[in-house]
Amino acid sequence: MQHGKYRFIVGFLAAPLALYALFVIWPFIQSIYYSFTDWTGLSPEFGMVGFDNYSRMLDDEIFWKSFQHSLILALVLPLVTVGLALFFAFMLNVGGRRRRGAAIAGVRGSSFYKIVYFFPQVLSIAIVALLFQFAYNPNSGAINSVLKGVGLGSIQPDWLGDPDLALICVMVVLVWSTVGFFVVLFSAGMASIPRDFYEAALLDGASRFTTFFKITLPLLWDTVQSGWIYMGILALGAESFAVVQIMTVGPSGGGPDYSTIVLPLYVYQKAFRDGQAAYATTIGVALLVLTLAFAAVVTKLGRRERLEF
């Protein structure tokens, strides 16, 4: 039966691999190539400049600011989002009181909560960002109005207009809009954990806390790890770009005093506002390196013995 196996595999893989090479690998190679030129993005002419763009990048204060913010997003956002999602998913699936003879169940109304959590996911991130921009309006926005309404009228922050708060405001929106996806993802993962494990734990008198850390989390680890990487990539890439570009202040986003600028936004500004496409690809390369490093570290640190059940 081994006859023709390789022909079979090659036959099936050739087309996707070719597409992958054309649309994924080739743009990477091209971008890296352009990062060694002085291409402006506004004319077809350019010349080679060697490592000029790279040495310029290392001296660029704004680049380091955006690098720092991207790094914060990549570290904090997965922690908060995945943590919250795990908590919600556990409560929805396992955390409820026992009733109707079922050994494990979610909290009351869990199927309703599932929809509520997932709801932001059906909104385009652009709409989410716009909605929150209105909510954060310091004069007539929902948040400050609520503060006033509950008698906290003396606390009226500028939210997105305040460099100390702007990045946090952005992170809150990102968490809000993505946590639902992970709740559903982890719920699906928890559904595949055999129920007898939980029943056994209950018989032994384990608390919810113990059940979560001794049973749920270890058995869910692979899903959590992919979720972690996925969230980190979102935080480094497109999602953070959209939110920062739409919500925060400045000519094309970036916050007061560069307080929310992130790498993808800086790429955008350099390429499409300043006419420095080559320099933008250089920052793009830095973003690529950062993303790969993040994924590598998480994979390495997260490696565990695989549990069979």
Return the closest-CA partner of residue 89 out of 6, 196, 206, 212: 212
CA distances in angstroms from 135 to 128, 146, 199, listed in the order given = 11, 10, 45
Q: Which is nearer to another protein, 197 or 221 (CB)?
A: 221
Q: Closer CB to another protein, residue 113 or residue 258? A: 258
Nearer to another protein, 82 or 242 (CB): 242
Closest CB 27 distance from another protein, rounded Å: 4
Beta bridge partners of 17: none
With contacts defined by CB under 8 A, name the span among 88-96, 111-119, 207-215, 233-241 that binds another protein. Answer: 233-241
CB of 118 to another protein, least distance (A): 14
Rounded CA-CA distance 42/52 in Å is 20
Least CB distance from residue 72 to another protein, whole Å?
Answer: 17
Of 160 and 193, the one with the shorter C-beta distance to another protein is 160
Q: Restricting to residues 70-89, which ones interact with another protein according to CB under 8 A?
A: none
- Sketch the per residue contact string, 106 through 125, with another protein: x for CB under 8 A, - otherwise: ------------------xx
Our finding on whether 54 is near another protein (CB under 8 A) is no
Site string for another protein, 137-156 (x = CB under 8 A): xxxx---x-----------x
Cα–Cα distance, 33 to 45 (Å, whole number) = 14
Return the residues of window 235-274 that contact another protein according to CB under 8 A. Answer: 236-239, 241-242, 245-246, 248-252, 254, 256-258, 264, 267-269, 271-274
Query: Using only C-alpha atoms, what is the Rg of the chain?
Result: 24
Rounded Cα distance between 98 and 76, Å, is 35
Closest distance of CB 220 from another protein, Å:
16
For another protein, which stretch binds (CB under 8 A), given 92-100, 112-120, 145-153, 157-165?
157-165
Q: Which residue among 136, 182, 198, 228 contacts another protein (CB under 8 A)?
A: 136
Give least dist CB 186 to another protein, A.
15
Q: What is the phi/psi pair of residue 36, to 5°?
A: -100, 10
- In this complex, which beta carbon is closest to another protein, that of residue 81 or of residue 276? 276
Cβ-count burial of 90 within 10 angstroms (0-12 exposed, 13-18 middle, 19+ buried)?
Answer: buried
Measured from the Cβ of residue 283, the count of other Cβ atoms closer than 10 Å reads: 26
Task: Candidates 19, 191, 292, 307: give the one binding another protein (CB under 8 A).
Answer: 292
Gap between the Cα atoms of 67 and 264, Å rounded: 10
Nearest-approach distance from CB 4 to another protein, in angstroms = 29
Contact between 158 and another protein by CB under 8 A: the answer reads yes
Helix orientation angle between 166-191 and 217-236, rounded to the nearest 10 degrees: 140
- Interactions with another protein, residue window 272-291 (CB under 8 A): 272-277, 279-281, 284-285, 287-288, 291
30 binds another protein, rule: CB under 8 A = yes
- Cβ atoms of 82 and 74 closer than 8 Å: no
Of 95 and 141, CB closest to another protein: 141
| Sign of the four-CA dihedral 292, 296, 297, 302 | positive
Question: Could you tell me which of 280, 282, 287 has the C-alpha nearest to residue 40?
Answer: 280
- By CB under 8 A, is residue 57 in contact with another protein? no
Give every CB contact of residue 119 below 8 A, 6+ residues apart in sequence. Answer: 180
Listed residue (101, 106, 109) closest to 208, CA to CA: 106
